[in-house]
């Protein structure tokens, strides 16, 4: 069995690879198997990000279309009869400022592409009568959903937190990623079952990665070191 080389040890330290391994799978903090876990975590995060990207695009499209139609303007957030929370409007203004710094015209479409998944999720949360102002006009965009607003918000907020973990390179390998994948596909299916089936069929990477999770190093009785 070969030992971890000096270059491998340095890389393990640089990328903080040890933190990505399941508990009890490494024989030491500088175990070579840590690099396999780090690489696997990177690939899993990329695959999950792809799913969440589809979710964000679909959520933005269905919500913005319904609210623009209801309030009669593409920049529906500026409608005089709509009262959004201060935090929600700050997200809009931050997006406009970012576009201005990049010398990009702050069209309604550009602003909506600039705000994060958290913005769209917040529209289903608690606010100034969001039930009447937002949920009722946007609910037709979720024809596959028959429940109340709160459970849908809770599911989406769970996925928002996952999106943040992926963006900040936090470890997600300890989660039930198969359940997270099903949750993403379920929400997409609320908007369009055809879209959910298409996204599911295209996502071959994540199931394959989950089926080939790294094991423990050989010194721990695993399959590789």
Residue spans of the domains in the chain: they are 25-220
The pLDDT of residue 1 is 36
59 neighbors 120 (Cβ within 8 angstroms): yes
Q: How far apart are CA 36 and CA 34, in angstroms?
A: 5
| pLDDT for residue 219 | 82
- The span from the CA of 214 to the CA of 31, in Å, is 13
* DSSP-derived secondary structure letter, 73: S
Q: Measured between alpha carbons, how far is 3 from 19 in angstroms, rounded to an integer? A: 20
Q: What is the Cα–Cα distance from 117 to 2, expressed in whole angstroms?
A: 45
Whole-angstrom Cα distance, residue 74 to residue 186? 28
pLDDT at 225: 39
Q: 124-156, pLDDT tens digit by residue?
A: 998 888 999 999 999 999 999 999 999 999 999
pLDDT (0 to 100) of residue 221: 57
The chain-wide mean pLDDT, for the chain, equals: 94
Residue 187's CB is within 10 A of a number of other CB atoms, namely 20
Least confident of 118-132, 150-164, 188-202: 118-132
pLDDT over 80 at 223, yes or no: no
Could you give the CA distance from residue 39 to residue 26 in angstroms, rounded to a whole number? 15
pLDDT in the model for residue 21: 95
Residue 35, classed as helix, strand or coil, is helix
State how far the Cα of 9 lies from the Cα of 35, in Å rounded to an integer. 9
Q: What is the mean pLDDT of residues 183-211?
A: 98
* pLDDT tens, residue by residue, 66-117: 999 999 999 999 999 999 999 999 999 999 999 999 999 999 999 999 999 9
pLDDT tens for each residue of 1-46: 346 889 999 999 999 999 999 999 999 999 999 999 999 999 999 9
| Separation in Å, CA 156 to CA 76, 108, 151, 204 | 22, 23, 9, 23
């Amino acid at each position: 069995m070969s030992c971890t080389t000096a270059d491998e040890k340095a890389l393990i330290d640089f990328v903080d690879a040890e933190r990505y391994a399941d508990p009890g799978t490494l024989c030491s903090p500088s175990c070579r198997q840590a690099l396999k876990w780090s690489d696997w975590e990177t690939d899993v995060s990329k695959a999950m990000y792809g799913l969440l990207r589809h979710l964000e695009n679909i959520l933005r499209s269905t919500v913005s279309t319904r609210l623009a139609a209801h309030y009669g303007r593409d920049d529906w957030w500026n409608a005089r009869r709509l009262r959004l929370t201060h935090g929600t409007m700050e997200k809009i203004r931050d997006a406009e400022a970012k576009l201005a710094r990049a010398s990009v015209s702050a069209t309604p479409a550009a602003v909506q592409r600039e705000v994060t998944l958290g913005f769209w999720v917040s529209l289903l949360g608690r606010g100034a009568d969001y039930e009447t102002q937002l949920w009722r006009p946007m609910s037709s965009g979720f024809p596959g959903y028959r429940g109340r607003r709160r459970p849908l918000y809770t599911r989406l907020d769970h996925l928002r937190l996952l999106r943040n973990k992926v963006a900040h390179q936090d470890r997600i390998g300890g989660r039930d990623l198969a359940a997270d994948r099903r949750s993403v596909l379920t929400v997409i299916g609320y908007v369009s079952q055809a879209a959910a089936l298409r996204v599911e069929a295209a996502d071959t990477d994540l199931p394959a990665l989950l089926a080939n999770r790294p094991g423990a190093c050989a010194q721990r009785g695993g399959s590789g070191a």
